[in-house]
A and B are shown apart, each in its own frame.
Chain A
Amino acid sequence: MTGSLASRAGVRQAGWLLAPALVWMGLFFVLPLLIVLLISFASRGAYGGVEWTFTLVNYRDLADPLYLWIYLRSCAFALATTGLCLCLGFPLAYYIARAPARWQGLWLMLVLVPFWTNFLVRTYAWMNVLRADGLLNRLLIATGFISEPVEILYTDLAVLIGLVYGYLPFMVLPLYAALERIDRSLIEAARDLYASGWTVFTRVIVPLAKPGIIAGCLLVFIPSLGAYITPDLLGGARSMMIGNFIQHEYLVVRDWPLGSAASFVLMAMVLVGMWGYQRTGGERPL
């Protein structure tokens, strides 16, 4: 009796605990999102205001091949970023997870250190590394790999470098968490059963690390899809990603309805991706 009373009181208290987060999310997340959704069905006023006449024209406009191309391009960049982060992040995370416990904290901290500095400042630093007379070119020339500086800054390659750099930690951390949990005796057992290194990797480690792989891929794919500073600064604004397009519609053209519709299409793409994850391999929620 007393036990069930206490637990009911506990539930009531737990409800209270939710309140601050609910208020916060409601005011600063759900409400603005609803406003953006409403605006995406309005039309642009003559001088850039919002006119509250219901229309689907913004979504129809986005079906234009030109805009679809922007979405495709952004997806390609996001996929390439995710793939590269996985290739770079997996060995790194594996190394950290296998390192002696007293070293793991240090390695993890080193992965996180870049976050202590503002992303914009770090992007400016990359501009200095990548420019024609920058660190990278001087290093490559000094070591004799190239004789003339290569143009890296203001190319798609620079954008890709910047994106991989920026989101690598989001891949490493969930991978580390998954790899660290793997019971070493399972690997030893596989070895005892004469599995080759490759078989151990593909049949034991990867399946066990799958939740971490999927979480890391989503954490990298989603923000890089909406990247905005990197293409602008490292790509020299020579081409657009969705983030730049939305910013352009909002601030330059002052077409808030089209910008809002573009944001919602972006969000829909992300949701479809998450749903796909739930369907295919997401036995475990994130």
Chain B
Amino acid sequence: MNKLTMTKFIGGVFLLVAVILVACQAPSDDPMRRKTLYYFTWSDYVGPELLEPFERQTGTKVVVDTFSSNEELLAKLQSGASGYDVTVPSDFMVSVMMKQGLLAELDPARIPNARRLAVGLENLPVDPEHRFSVPYLWGTVGIGYDSNVIPTPPDSWAVLWDERYKGKISMLNDQREVFGAVLRSMGHSMNTREPAIIEAAKAKLLQQKPLVRTYTSDHFDQMLASGEVVLAHGWGGPVARAMALKPSIKYVVPKEGATIWADCLVVPKTSRNKELAMQFINYLLDREVAARTSERLMFASANPEAKALVKPAVRDNPAVYPDETALGHLEWMMDVGETLRLYDRAWTELKMK
């Protein structure tokens, strides 16, 4: 290879590196083209029919990028990925992002559809005045079970400790949720910071472990539907989707109380289109749009007016829209500060025994 082609080659390598670096950067706006909105959301949150009306109404283009966990979302925003206009962290992650100063303040006047929120979602503990976030979709964590195998409907977390279902139980692979369930079953807050209580909860989980088939946050709906497990600790939405495959699947929010969660719409501070972003948030919360989203994803919409427009099969499904009694004893997962280390250690011990 002579010197000229070598230089060219090295130049080419540098060019390639530069292109990769640029491609990793957030996209920039070209004023000559249509205004573009960058929406960063959960991998299953956008159907093709959802964005098209907004693009038509506003003459803009919506570019979707997806993540599969709150941690991935945080990591991307922390590492300086800028240019996303709207994203959807879960409630506890909203608080982390607020504390890290990653979110832009919202203008309530631009989001009229968020004026009224579903019961239980007003004054979200992480952001009571909704200065930075608006709830979008929400739901509960409970127990999905096969009513053919478990004839008396369970109403307590205790069923997950029932020896008769040994090897037929799945738990979420999520330390805070698993500890949340056991803490509530013992009558404590799932946000406790008491070392002795966490220790007792760990002992109860160790006692349960021989009964647990697997800890999974991704497959429990399929496992319920295929009969591999008959009791699954998990989110209502996937359980509702399992019901469509196997009608004997039912869902219960245990009487001792369970997690309520909400995925919230936020605008990252680095957004270059904050007005358009808020317009988009308002669109997603439109009752008609929200009702269709709710039906497709099997999660409850934060817009109370949307519920009336959701088809009855979904609206009356307790896995999607919790009933009055369930609503009475739900608890938000909060940041536990340094106590997280204790939970983490206890979780690792659970996994190593």
Contact = CB atoms under 8 A, between A and B. Distances in A.
Interface of A: 13, 16-17, 19-20, 23-24, 27, 46-49, 66-67, 69-70, 73, 131-133, 151, 154, 236-240, 245, 248, 251-255
Nearest to A21: B13
B228 A131 contact: yes
A238 B215 contact: yes
B45 interface: no
A240 B9 contact: no
B340 interface: yes
A154 B345 contact: no
Interface in B94-136: 96, 99-100
A70 B352 contact: yes
B71 A23 contact: no
B43 interface: no
A236 B345 CA distance: 19
B69 A19 contact: no
Contacts of B69: 251
Interface residues of B, number: 40
Contacts of A253: 340-341, 344
Contacts, number: 81
Contact of B216 (A47, A66, A151, A236): A236
B175 A252 contact: yes
Nearest to B338: A46
Contacts of B96: 47-48
Contacts of A237: 173, 214-216, 351
Contact of B352 (A47, A49, A69, A252): A69
Nearest to B72: A251
Contact of A66 (B71, B226, B348): B348
B167 interface: yes
A13 B1 contact: yes
Given A23-B13, A48-B74, A131-B228, A236 B214 contact: yes
Contacts of A67: 348
Interface in B313-353: 335, 337-338, 340-341, 344-345, 348-349, 351-352
A133 B228 CA distance: 9
A239 B214 contact: no
